[in-house]
Structure 1
Amino acid sequence: MDLPLPLIEEVLAGLPLRSLLAVAAASKGLRSLVASPSFATLHSRFAFAASPWFFFFGFNLLLPHRSQAFAFDPVSFSWLRLPLSPFPPHNSSSLSSSHSSLYALSGPMQTHLCIAPSPMKQNWQIIEAPMRIARRNPLVGIFYHDPCKLDVASIVVAGGVDHDDKDEEDELAVEEYNAEKGEWERGEAMPEALRGKSVVAAMAGGRWYVGDRGGGVVCCRGEGGTWVEGKVEKGREVREWEWVGSEVAGLLAVAACEGGRVKVYRMEEEGGRMREVAEMPADMRQLFQEEGEEGEAQVVRVRCCAGGGNLLYVYSDSPFKEYAACACEMAIDGGTSRWYRLPPMPAPLHRFDRVSCLSASVPLPSCINS
């Protein structure tokens, strides 16, 4: 007996993404159903659909065929091996990630930006209009009209100015790409408080933040491209912190503290106060311990990223640590946060010259086409 289509859709919509990929591969009819916009809307209503995945990209610059990519699905608690899409001509040392996208610089003067909005498909796009300023390893923020459709609205690029360019030596320079106009425009420079600092960018709540790793300055780029400079109180035990943006938790700071401790702070919307929400367990810190500088005890070095939901991923980009990774399920409104280690990535796992990781929710349309 044939089941009514609405019932079939309701049943399939309750399946996690990994299962839906298998369903879509079963027949053309099921693929067409699963790829429809109405089904994507139905599937997005389930809570697990917003669980952010962790994406790992390892690049071997000398032997590109040994580069690898993996995606971790927190619902099935398993890794998915991803095919790497062909790269456009680019400067390999500029490969990096911004929030939920990959990007790289290209062109003789590194004034062309290449972006891959979908970490699943890695469909690279080359922004044809050149940036006005030559840059090396800039901060990049990508904004979308519709995040589910990955429809780019604008791109902000800051810092990383190439000081070999005699016409432009302002390390705080900012420019913004308007997708509708197809051109770059100069924007208001980053605040002077960030000059000479080691900075990191984060996206949270539709806002773009740039913060100082070693100090207590975090600046927000608001509507109209104006900057708002903020001061945050840095605890005495905090050596440095990395700013991370979360769609649910807002702006976070993962702090490397004295004694090898790792703590997670959340910035309160009112007053800019930093509130501790989690601390990495001692046994998990051992995954990230490395030898310090000469005469210095072992230190914990971590990288981190966050996307949708309340998951924060912490990882090592060192082959000597086997690219270890763990996750923190944050209790944002009180309670105890839960930490767990991610399983090892599928073998064989190669060693890489450059590692780029990101976390993002995976909308159904981004991995299934009709």
Structure 2
Amino acid sequence: MEETNWDYFDSDLTELILSHLSIPSIIRSSLVCKSWQSIITSSSFRTRVLTRKRPWFFLYGQNNVFLKNNQVFAFDPESYEWIKLPVSASLLSKDLFTGSNGFCFTITPENFSFKPVLSDSWSQTSPLIFSRCNPLLGVYDVPDKRSKLPRFIVAGGASFIGNLVDLGDRLAVEIYNPNQDFWELCPPLPANFRPGNSSQWLCSALFKRKFYVFGIYSFFVSSFDLEKRYWTSVQTLRPPGTLFSYLISLHDRLILAGLCNNIETSPSFVIWKIDEKTLEFIEMEIMPQELLSCLFDSSDEDDRFASLKCVGFGNLIYVFNEEHHKHYPACVCEMSNYSGKCKWRRLPSLPLPVNKFHKIVSFCSNVYLDVVRNN
């Protein structure tokens, strides 16, 4: 066999070079030769990739009339391209589908199921004590030698009474223990979040062992201590002129991102850094106006911004429009872990064809090489 330049590289250098590839390219590279496959399947390579790769952005579109039109898209920031994912049978339904911190979830009145992101294998837990729709979900780790699975926290949502939905019921927070297949009951969301205590009106963020709940339009905020199991008093977090905003947990920062109405200029999308102890805010970044203009209509309607949504994880914040006639445009802000400076870019268009959806579910998550390689 003819020698190549790769034959002169030691395994450490080859590992370093391969780790810079996008995850889909890494999977393809593992088929090139046995030595590369050995490197890519090693624990040191998996660790290197996990620490290097940025989280992916997922969009799940649900059509309530024609379920066959449901679609799932994933954006890989390394290759800077969208990937159209296959839709499993479990997603061809009206069940709630969402994701958080490496896991996907489906919730029905009878069942709660989860799987690692991009895995084909679902696991089903014992039913929630209180069946609900559109709750907030969080995933967090606890030191436990008996299980590598994290804890799942479910908060808020609207309760089911038969086939009807009760918007006014205050549902207890439930935390899932995978070792015992058991849901622990905890105090419900503070009464300030009722009505409208579902993920349609609220967002959540896990930061420093606390589960924050924030009103997108009400601007109420409270945090749940995951160790002591109590809610803090409700406060208001609203920078002047803010129309709506989202609370996001990045690597070492609690971030507020939202649309701000400036009397002197056109509305702007602003990112603030939040002090988790005092809830004081400092303006960090403003989205370039030309990017914001790409995300919404130029019409004069007051609600033209209402379809803007925002999610984030790691050091990335994604802002997108969930309206079909705009073809779901999106942009990303990459924030430096050290300086806090931001780099804005517009995302490419979704791969065609893109169906019409009645509901969009979006989230950011790390993608694990082992899961992708084994599916």
Q: Give the aligned partner of residue 274 of structure 1.
A: 281
Q: Deviations over 1:30-56 (max 9, x none)?
A: 4354123232123345xxx23222122
User: Helix, strand or coil for the counterpart of 1:299?
Assistant: coil
Q: Give the aligned partner of residue 73 of structure 1.
A: 76
Q: Give the aligned partner of residue 187 of structure 2.
A: 188
1:273 positional shift: 0.8
Cα distance, 1:52–1:206 mapped onto 2, change above 3 Å: farther
Structure 1 length-normalised TM: 0.83
Counterpart mapping for 1:56-95 below 5 A: 56-87=59-90, 92-95=94-97
Cα distance, 1:86–1:205 mapped onto 2, change above 3 Å: farther
Amino acid at match of 1:94: L
* Contact 1:91–1:105 (Cα < 8 Å) also in 2: no
Cα distance, 1:123–1:334 mapped onto 2, change above 3 Å: same
Q: Give the aligned partner of residue 210 of structure 1.
A: 213
Amino acid at match of 1:244: I
* Contact 1:56–1:355 (Cα < 8 Å) also in 2: yes
User: Helix, strand or coil for the counterpart of 1:345?
Assistant: coil
Equivalent of 2:242 in 225, 229, 238 = 238
Q: What are the ranges of 5 or more consecutive residues in structure 1 without an aligned counterpart?
A: none
| Matched positions, count | 354
Q: Report whether the alignment pairs 1:105 with 2:104.
A: no
Q: Give the aligned partner of residue 259 of structure 2.
A: 256
Cα distance, 1:35–1:171 mapped onto 2, change above 3 Å: same
- In the alignment, the residues of structure 2 paired with residue 270 and residue 254 of structure 1 have an alpha-carbon distance, to the nearest angstrom, of 18
User: Helix, strand or coil for the counterpart of 1:152?
Assistant: coil
Q: Give the aligned partner of residue 131 of structure 1.
A: 128
1:211 positional shift: 1.1
- In the alignment, the residues of structure 2 paired with residue 152 and residue 292 of structure 1 have an alpha-carbon distance, to the nearest angstrom, of 48
Q: Give the aligned partner of residue 24 of structure 2.
A: 18
Cα distance, 1:163–1:87 mapped onto 2, change above 3 Å: closer
Cα distance, 1:243–1:11 mapped onto 2, change above 3 Å: closer
1:93 positional shift: 4.7
Q: Deviations over 1:75-110 (max 9, x none)?
A: 22222232233317x86152233354332222xxx0
Q: Deviations over 1:58-87 (max 9, x none)?
A: 233444443332222222222223223331
- In the alignment, the residues of structure 1 paired with residue 303 and residue 72 of structure 2 have an alpha-carbon distance, to the nearest angstrom, of 33
Q: Deviations over 1:286-332 (max 9, x none)?
A: 23325899x74743531111111x21011122111101010012357
Equivalent of 1:359 in 361, 364, 367 = 364
- In the alignment, the residues of structure 1 paired with residue 307 and residue 139 of structure 2 have an alpha-carbon distance, to the nearest angstrom, of 27
Cα distance, 1:31–1:69 mapped onto 2, change above 3 Å: farther
1:5 positional shift: 4.2
Cα distance, 1:229–1:91 mapped onto 2, change above 3 Å: farther
1:335 positional shift: 6.5
Cα distance, 1:261–1:172 mapped onto 2, change above 3 Å: farther
| Higher deviation after alignment, 168-177 or 335-344 | 168-177
Structure 2 length-normalised TM: 0.82
Amino acid at match of 1:38: S
Q: Deviations over 1:207-246 (max 9, x none)?
A: 3211122234311221132222352442330122122222
Q: Deviations over 1:13-35 (max 9, x none)?
A: 34332321220233566435412
Q: Give the aligned partner of residue 346 of structure 1.
A: 351
- In the alignment, the residues of structure 2 paired with residue 196 and residue 75 of structure 1 have an alpha-carbon distance, to the nearest angstrom, of 40
Amino acid at match of 2:242: V
| C-alpha RMSD of the superposition | 3.1
- In the alignment, the residues of structure 2 paired with residue 7 and residue 334 of structure 1 have an alpha-carbon distance, to the nearest angstrom, of 29
Q: Give the aligned partner of residue 289 of structure 1.
A: 296
Q: Give the aligned partner of residue 46 of structure 2.
A: 40
Equivalent pairs: percent with the same residue? 25
Amino acid at match of 1:342: L
- In the alignment, the residues of structure 2 paired with residue 77 and residue 299 of structure 1 have an alpha-carbon distance, to the nearest angstrom, of 26
* Contact 1:57–1:70 (Cα < 8 Å) also in 2: yes
- In the alignment, the residues of structure 1 paired with residue 284 and residue 336 of structure 2 have an alpha-carbon distance, to the nearest angstrom, of 7
Cα distance, 1:330–1:7 mapped onto 2, change above 3 Å: closer
Cα distance, 1:157–1:326 mapped onto 2, change above 3 Å: same
* Contact 1:260–1:299 (Cα < 8 Å) also in 2: no
User: Helix, strand or coil for the counterpart of 2:129?
Assistant: coil
* Contact 1:306–1:312 (Cα < 8 Å) also in 2: yes
Amino acid at match of 2:191: E
Q: Give the aligned partner of residue 162 of structure 1.
A: 159
- In the alignment, the residues of structure 2 paired with residue 57 and residue 250 of structure 1 have an alpha-carbon distance, to the nearest angstrom, of 27
1:368 positional shift: 1.7
Cα distance, 1:207–1:363 mapped onto 2, change above 3 Å: farther
- In the alignment, the residues of structure 2 paired with residue 328 and residue 349 of structure 1 have an alpha-carbon distance, to the nearest angstrom, of 24
- In the alignment, the residues of structure 2 paired with residue 360 and residue 289 of structure 1 have an alpha-carbon distance, to the nearest angstrom, of 25
Q: What are the ranges of 5 or more consecutive residues in structure 2 without an aligned counterpart?
A: none
Q: Report whether the alignment pairs 1:143 with 2:146.
A: no
